[in-house]
Amino acid sequence: MTRSTATHAHAIVLGASMAGLLTARVLSEHFSQVTLIERDPVADRPEARKGQPQTRHLHGLLASGLEIMTRYFPDLMEALEAGGAIVGDFGENMRWCTYGGYRQRFTLGSKAVLMSRPFLEYLVRTRTLAQGNIALLDNCAVRRLLTTTDRTRIVGVEVEQRTQDSAVTVLNADLIVDCTGRGSRTPQWLAELGYTAPVESEVKVNVGYATQIFRRTPSDDYARDWVLITPEAPRETRFGAMFPIEGDRWIVSMGGWAGDHAPTDPAGFLEYARTMPTPDIYNMMRQAEALTDVYPHKFNSSLRRHYEKLTRFPAGYLVLGDAISSFNPTYGQGMTSAAMQAAALDELLMQRHGNLTDIAPAFFKRAAKIIDTPWQLAVGEDFRFPQTTGPKPAGIDLLNRYVAAVHRATLVDPEVGRAFAKVMNLMAPPPSLMTPGMMVRVWRANRQLHRMPQPIPGNIAAAAD
């Protein structure tokens, strides 16, 4: 992608994680200079920084997110593969156990990549900073926003170096974008400036999981497969995942909803794997060499801030990524949602020829439309568990009964599996699963399942040693 449409002097992006990096890359086409401000020190290597507690855990990059990233970084796929990441079709290397069996494999027609989050972020960061007009200011905290005297426009930030001398600097900009994640201080800053903070939607799920990394033998028959075990809610609450990643390693994350969390001692973690409905993960763990300790992570609730509903918002300022909406991470939507929002900002700036007047309402409206689908998917799945609390969408119980039938249908019908995967990867809207033709396939597949012995032949039983 080569464009040069810079119409403004300077943009600032708060936060140099994935959302911030992608936003900086987008803004580099519309501003002469872009400055990334990151609270943590950033090393020139793949790393999980202190302010990113979740980066050491298993991550999924959905197909639509990968497509956007490769649009802005054309050599990213080659760099991932050269670094040892596993690249292939999403459905061809799938071993996904759910609802008493394995989903049938299929060809999605879109590439997927399996890698660690620090490795992906490192490759994106090096390519972002290779742009001649993007600079990184790390180990630096934002103290406050700077405004015009009437407080109608944000014109800069006051930052403090997190070093011994604690030097304070003022940076001015035409546009500032908050990509600092779930802990964003924007609601507090808005209130301090006399604005109304956005209304929030919070769905409490009490999810907790733990992660450990193991040595992987590339010559093994299953060494390029990705394994996912998801529960038949509400009867089951536990999930597990085992992905091959760069460095000839397996990354294993296991946990559960409603407080059914994985233990963090190696013996307890192995025993937790043994309780899964299929032995795929357990068989690998008990034979492979563990390379790390077991790291825990807890996620109490999905949180959405409705900036699109505000009637008054300061000019020269935007919010993007997890700072708008933080999803239950077990669905792997965060990076893709951020990428889609950054791409939407790029499109908006191009359509407006760089005009920043009243850009916030226009952007927040587009961002809300992007967020609607992953939020609906995540919240809908979470409300399968009676312990989940928060604003419950109307009709979700009825819809979930049909989606459960879809899950079961994927065990015998790869076409249903392909359609489900497109929705999950944000490549197709959820209503695509409810066309008359698809509903007939789901009904026929469920009838077929009722006539089959349990467990389903060739599925769970075939995975055991």
| Three-state DSSP class for residue 308 | helix
Domain 204-300 has CATH 3.30.9.30: yes
Residues 225, 218 contacting (CB under 8 angstroms): no
Distance (Å, whole) CA 227 – CA 233: 19
The domains of the chain are located at 8-61+116-199+306-379, 204-300, 396-460
Each residue of 380-408: b (16+ CB within 10 Å) or e?
bbbbbbeebebeeeeebeebeeebebbbb
Instruction: Please return the burial class of 362, using the count of CB atoms within 10 Å of its CB with bins 0-12, 13-18 and 19+.
Output: middle
What is the pTM (predicted TM-score) of this model? 0.94
**How big is the chain, counted in residues?**
465
Residues 9, 32 contacting (CB under 8 angstroms): yes
Residues 106, 121 contacting (CB under 8 angstroms): no
Residues 121, 25 contacting (CB under 8 angstroms): no
pLDDT by position in tens, the chain (length 465): 555 566 799 999 999 999 999 999 999 999 999 999 999 999 999 998 877 768 889 998 999 999 999 999 999 999 999 999 999 999 999 999 999 999 999 999 998 899 999 999 999 999 999 999 999 999 999 999 999 999 999 999 999 998 878 889 999 999 999 999 999 999 999 999 999 999 999 999 999 999 999 999 999 888 999 999 999 999 999 999 999 999 999 999 999 999 999 999 999 999 999 999 999 999 999 999 999 999 999 999 999 999 999 999 999 999 999 999 999 999 999 999 999 999 999 999 999 999 999 999 999 999 999 999 999 999 999 999 999 999 999 999 999 999 999 999 999 999 999 999 999 999 999 999 999 999 999 999 999 998 887 655 444 444 444
- Strand-pairing partners, residue 142, are 159
CATH number for the segment(s) 8-61+116-199+306-379? 3.50.50.60
- Give the H or E element holding residue 395: none
Distance (Å, whole) CA 364 – CA 182: 17
Contacts of 127 (CB under 8 A, 6+ apart): 25, 73, 75, 76
pLDDT of 3 reads 55
Distance (Å, whole) CA 39 – CA 227: 35
pLDDT of 163 reads 84
Tens-place pLDDT, residues 129-182: 999 999 999 999 999 999 999 999 999 999 999 887 888 999 999 999 999 999
From residue 319, alpha-carbon distances to 6, 20, 123, 256, 356 in Å are 21, 10, 24, 31, 14
Distance (Å, whole) CA 275 – CA 241: 14
Structure tokens at 155: 């014109």
Residues 93, 225 contacting (CB under 8 angstroms): yes
pLDDT of 462 reads 41
